[in-house]
A and B are shown apart, each in its own frame.
Chain A
Amino acid sequence: MSDVTPTDPTSEPTIATTSTTTSALRCEGLTKAFQGVHAVNGATFDVPQGQITALIGPNGAGKTTVVNILSGSMKCDSGTEYLGEDEVTNMESFEIARLGLMRTFQLSRELGGLTVLENLLVAPKLQPGESLFNVFFRPGTVRRAEQVNVERALEILGTYGLYAVRDDRARELSGGQKKLLEIARAVMASPRILLLDEPMAGVNPALIERIGGYILALKAQGVTVLMVEHNLNVVEKICDHVIVLAEGRTLATGRLSELRANKEVVRAYLGEVIDARPPS
């Protein structure tokens, strides 16, 4: 670790709604090596409940690998992960998802053969209609659950501006629409914690603005968000808390303004960006 004392996020004077002291997600000493190369090497951090936390760091810092480990898509070599109070280290991806942690993917991974609406309808956990028994012997239960889900899905599609394309196959969407679908689908699963892997990468400024709005709205609904993000303007605007990752380790945590004052962080990552855009 560095000689910088990582800032305690909870001591931070933040706006009233987010001043909770519990962490929604916590990991300690995560490591992961690929063919001898340590992609993640002891990452340790807390994601505070009900806030928006940014995970930043230079390319190759292991951000996506961390997201993969936290969401269970990948197994770590060592370390522990807690979801609230429960240890979930190396649990299967679907088990972690059922505990309320949803993730999106850096490159949109839509379910291409399904319609946009169906993409959302897949998301609710443990639907009655997913049991063969229910399909044949409790059609009423299946239908009622389906009714609720369809209604809610159409509502979310409306919110995310995808209502008009609801019957298109997801593979036919534009890049920006796929990004929105990625988030909408995760939201449909009613997550407690949302892991967004570069939700704004490769989209135009107007859409960045909009996605930022959606994320803030989710926070207002009480969803904890951890997002990998390169764009420091976005981080500045919507994130309460920042975790800096470098070479697979947690370099520092805190508010962006504090981190700008941290020489090591600046050297590792923020350098040129900060010089170009002094805090306003």
Chain B
Amino acid sequence: MTAVWYYVFTLVFFLFDYFILAMGLNIQYGETGILNFAYFAFVAVGAYVTGAVSLPNSVGTGQHYIFGWGIPFPFNLLMGGIATSLLAVVLAFITLRRLRTDYLAMVLISSSLILYDICNNFVPLFNGADGLYNVPPPFASVLKLTTNSFIPFFAAVTGVIALIMWFVMSRITRSPLGRTFRAIRDDDTVAAALGKNVFRGQLKSMIIGSFYAGIGGGLIIQFSGSLNPTAWLPGETFVVFAVIIVGGVGNNVGLLVGSLLVETLLVHLTAFLPAIPGHPGLIEYIDAMLIGVFLMVMLWFRPQGVWPERPRLSATMVRLLGKRGPSVDEARVEADVSDAALNDGSRG
């Protein structure tokens, strides 16, 4: 396989993986309004747990880590997702009940730093600053995959998983639960006045989103076989926010578009650029800057994203529910006409 195809499939993998990650952050931020600046810490925890449960017992591997149960794919992935969901519960109980948006963001971002600090320094947990490596690639031995054939294979697996998770997420966002999430996002006081338990709603959203983060993270460590703390600094969370904002907040299909634009074009294609001699890392720095600039420009000129959230139309709802036609419509519309005149005076 040529190097070009190698890159293409790597891009495909990241496209699907960031689609999953973006769906998770979108339900928290786009649907429920929780500004989770710690999102990538959840991704990392998912990756570490997935890696640590699938690695063999740590004795004799030259690494130090907990678990080491040799659990196969995809069960290791599920455990990663469950672990991040548990983390979400803990953080939610500490923070969600007590803090308004911006303090919540502060505490969450602080939590991510502390997690970082612990993972980096406490070696017995996930091998400290060296991180986990040699995580066994799924199915590689069964299907006799080489390094080259593993990449397109796993990109396809990720695509299938992304599809399933997209289906599940659409069910959630289109359900009354999703509607309640959006009510909380738009005005939590109103939601509470309508009998919605705002904390429980936010908790649910945190758990669902974190599960997605965990799965997305688990896929990353399965794909690359390793993860160390430098891979999940706060800037990474920003990339996922960029995917959501570029794609369109609150729209699952838009997230795939956003993932394509941000993740594959802005983040990974720059890997093809030659390094500037004498300035190691300069390309990456400029790349990160550009993502920041791009996002601000996007936020200013097209805050709804390239593929905006669509309102759920009554006709669709009525059709989906199998309610029989517009028997009431005529009378209603007539009543509304006089209404237009009535409201003209007070528009605004």
Contact = CB atoms under 8 A, between A and B. Distances in A.
Tell me, yes or no, whether A and B come into direct contact in the complex with CB atoms closer than 8 A. Answer: yes
Interface of A: 71-73, 92-94, 97-98, 102-103, 105, 109, 111-115, 117-118, 121-123, 125-132, 135-136, 142-143, 145-147, 150-151, 154-155, 157-158, 161-169, 174-177, 185, 189, 202-204, 206-207, 210
10 contacts: A94-B198, A113-B186, A115-B313, A129-B175, A129-B176, A150-B318, A158-B328, A164-B339, A174-B348, A177-B339
Contacts of B339: 161-162, 164, 177
Interface in B154-177: 168, 171-172, 175-177
Contacts of A168: 311
Given A125-B195, A174-B347, A176-B345, 20 more contacts: A71-B193, A73-B193, A92-B197, A94-B195, A98-B195, A112-B186, A118-B312, A121-B176, A122-B191, A130-B176, A135-B171, A154-B328, A163-B332, A164-B337, A169-B311, A175-B346, A175-B347, A189-B195, A207-B342, A207-B343
Of A155, A204, A210, most buried by chain B (CB within 10 Å of CB) is A204
Of B194, B198, B337, B348, most buried by chain A (CB within 10 Å of CB) is B194
A143 B175 CA distance: 9
Contact of B179 (A121, A204, A210): A121
Contact of B321 (A130, A147, A169, A204): A147
Contact of B322 (A118, A147, A165): A147
Contacts of B340: 164
Contacts of A202: 346
A122 B177 CA distance: 9
Interface string B268-300: 000000000000000000000000000000000
B313 A131 contact: no
Contacts, number: 174
B314 interface: yes
B204 interface: yes
Nearest to B185: A113
Of B193, B312, B321, most buried by chain A (CB within 10 Å of CB) is B193
A175 B348 CA distance: 5
B189 interface: yes
A114 B182 contact: yes
A130 B192 contact: no
Nearest to A163: B332
A176 B196 contact: no
B228 interface: no
A206 B312 CA distance: 32
Given A146-B321, A163-B335, A163-B336, A93 B185 contact: no
Interface residues on B, range: 35 or more
B309 interface: yes
B239 interface: no
Of B331, B337, B345, most buried by chain A (CB within 10 Å of CB) is B345
Contacts of A185: 194
B102 interface: no
A109 to B, nearest CB: 5
A157 B347 CA distance: 19
B336 A146 contact: no
A154 B324 CA distance: 13
A128 to B, nearest CB: 8
Contacts of B183: 111, 114, 122
A174 B195 contact: no
Interface string B317-341: 1100111000011011101111110
Contacts of A142: 175-176
Interface of B: 168, 171-172, 175-177, 179-180, 182-183, 185-187, 189-198, 204, 208, 250, 309, 311-315, 317-318, 321-323, 328-329, 331-333, 335-340, 342-348
B196 A204 contact: no
Contact of A207 (B311, B315, B346): B346
A174 B343 contact: yes
Main secondary structure of the interface of B (DSSP, over half): helix
Nearest to B187: A109
A160 to B, nearest CB: 9
Of A154, A168, A175, most buried by chain B (CB within 10 Å of CB) is A154
Contact of B333 (A93, A94, A163): A163
A132 B175 CA distance: 9
A204 B346 CA distance: 7
Nearest to B181: A130
A164 B329 CA distance: 9
Contacts of A165: 336
A128 B177 CA distance: 9
B311 A150 contact: no
A192 to B, nearest CB: 12
Contacts of A135: 171-172, 175, 177
B322 A94 contact: no
B335 A97 contact: no
Contacts of B171: 135-136
Contacts of B177: 129-132, 135
Given A71-B193, A131-B177, A167-B313, A111 B187 contact: yes
A115 B186 contact: no
Contacts of B328: 154-155, 158
B19 to A, nearest CB: 21
B122 to A, nearest CB: 34
